[in-house]
Amino acid sequence: MGTGKQIVYSIGVECYMTIFSLMTLKDIPARIVGLHKLTKDSVEISMAFEEKQEFSYAPGQFIMLELENPRFESGWKPISPSDVWQYIQEHGGAERGELTTTFSILAEKTLDGYLKKLMSLGAIAEEGNTLLCTTDVDPALGAPPLKRAYSLGSTPTRPETLNTMVKEMPGGYMSRYLVHDLRVGDAVRISGPLGHFMLPPDDVAGDILLIGAGSGITPLMGMLRFAKDTGMKRHVHLIYSNKTPEDIIYKEELDSLENEENITITHTITRPDPAQPWAGRTGRVDKSFLVELALEAPTHHVYICGSMVFAKSMKELLLELGAKPEHIKLEAYG
C-alpha cells in the first residue's frame, strides 16, 4: 500500500431502541435434501435436520439460515485491503486526493456482482492521511457472512422437511449463491422459528385473505398447504400479483390448489405482454379489484407479504374498505 498509508474498515449504525426481552436461538445442523427450480431466478429449497429434532413452527413463520463451507462456484473471490488500494490508485484518487463516493466498479470487477452492496468508499488519499471506507464485508474473514432470514413455505403437516423459497435479488450474494451454487447434500444451520405472521386460532371466526407479490408468496404458500392438508373449515382466498406470467412462482402447485373446495386463487399480472397470451386478470390490486371479488368484508383475517411499498399500500387500501386493523398482518421486505 505504500509508506505512510493506512486503511481502516468500519461499519457505523446508530439507532435508538427499547429492549423488552432477550432470547437465545439454537443453531441446528441440517442438510439440503431437495432443490426445485420454480422460475428462471427462483428455487425451492428442502432441508432436513441431521438428527431428529423437536422443531415446532406455524405456517408463515421464518428461520435464520446459515451456510457452512460455501463454494462460490459463480465467480466470487475474497476482497482484500490491497484490492481496495489498487483500485483507488488505478483511478487516480490517491494522487488527486479526490472524494470517491461509490465503490460499484470494484464490486463489479473483483466480486462478480456478489458484493454490489459495498456501500460506499470515502477516500481522502493525500500522503499520510487515513483512508476510510465503509463496507458490509469483514475483510479479516475474506468472505461475506452467509446467514439470512427466510420465510418458511412448508407446513408442519409435512414434517419430513423444512422448505423455503429463494428468488435471486440484484446484488444479493446470498440469494445468488442459493439459486446457482447450492447443492443437495450441502450442510446448513437452521435457527428459529421466528415471527408472528401466523394464522388465527381455530376458535376465532372469519375467512382468510392472503395477498402476495413476487417472492412474497413463500409464507402464504405454507398457509395454503396447511389449509389443504387439514381441510380447514375457513375459506382461504389468495390474490397473487406478478409482473409477467413467467414470474409466477409455484405456478403448477397453485393451479392444483384451485381444485380444493376451501381455496380460491386469483392471479393478476401488472405488465402484460400482448406477445404472451394471458387470460387472467391484469393490473394492480385496488379498491375495485377487492370489491368485485367481495373481499372487502371486515371479518376477513388478512395476511400481506411483498415489498415494503406493496405491503403498506395494501394495508392502507384494506383499512379504507373497513378492514379491522387487528385483523391485518404484514410480512414485508426491502
Indicate if the pLDDT at residue 62 is higher than 70.
yes
Q: Hey, what's the cell of 332?
A: 414485508
**pLDDT of 175:** 87
Q: Which of 187, 168, 171, 190 is nearest to 179 (CA)?
A: 168
Q: What is the pLDDT of residues 291-323, one digit of tens each?
A: 888 776 677 899 999 999 999 999 999 999 888
Domains of the chain, start order: 1-195 (2.40.30.10), 208-333 (3.40.50.80)
Phi-psi region of 4 (alpha: psi -120 to 50; beta: other; left: phi over 0): left
Indicate if the pLDDT at residue 125 is higher than 50.
no
**163 and 44 in contact (C-beta within 8 Å)?**
yes
- Its pTM stands at 0.74
Helix (H) or strand (E) holding 83: helix 81-90
**pLDDT of 73:** 60
Q: What is the pLDDT of residues 285-298, one digit of tens each?
A: 988 888 888 776 67
